[in-house]
């Protein structure tokens, strides 16, 4: 069974802008303005995406004077990874069977 936290994480990851924000934060903490500058979106729109990521526990916010810095927190992704793991095995087996079939057809 998937927990409520994982559902929030899945919802957060469903949006491509939020996935790009997470990718940017893999490089290290970033100021909200720096993150907003990467998109053709308004700052309030980017702030909403960051709020969703914060609610899902994927980022944490650090105030520094007048600026807000965001840090990646990948711990919630571990639960998602654990849930996806059996599916990875399923698809690897299916692709292996397809490869074997194609190898038989085209020696």
Task: Specify the long-range contacts of residues 31-39, CB closer than 8 Å, at least 24 apart.
Answer: 31/67, 31/68, 31/69, 31/70, 32/67, 32/68, 32/69, 32/70, 33/67, 35/70
HEC string of 38-65 equals: CCCCCHHHHHHHHHHHHHCCCEEEEEEC
**Domain boundaries of the chain, sorted by first residue:** 1-73, 75-106
pLDDT of 43 higher than 70: yes
pLDDT tens-place string over residues 2-20 = 444 555 888 899 999 999 9
- The fold of 1-73 is Arc Repressor Mutant, subunit A (1.10.10)
Average pLDDT (30-45) is: 92
pLDDT tens-place string over residues 77-92 = 888 888 888 888 888 8
pTM of the model: 0.74
């Amino acid at each position: 069974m998937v927990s409520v936290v994982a559902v929030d994480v899945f919802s957060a990851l469903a949006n491509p802008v939020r996935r790009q924000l997470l990718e940017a934060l893999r490089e290290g903490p970033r100021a909200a303005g720096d993150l907003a500058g990467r998109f053709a979106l308004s700052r309030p729109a980017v702030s909403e995406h960051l709020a969703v990521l914060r609610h899902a526990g994927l980022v944490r916010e650090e105030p520094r004077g007048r600026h807000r810095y965001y840090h990646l927190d990948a711990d919630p992704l571990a639960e998602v990874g654990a849930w996806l793991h059996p599916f990875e095995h399923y698809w690897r087996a299916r692709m292996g069977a397809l490869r074997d079939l194609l190898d038989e057809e085209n020696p």
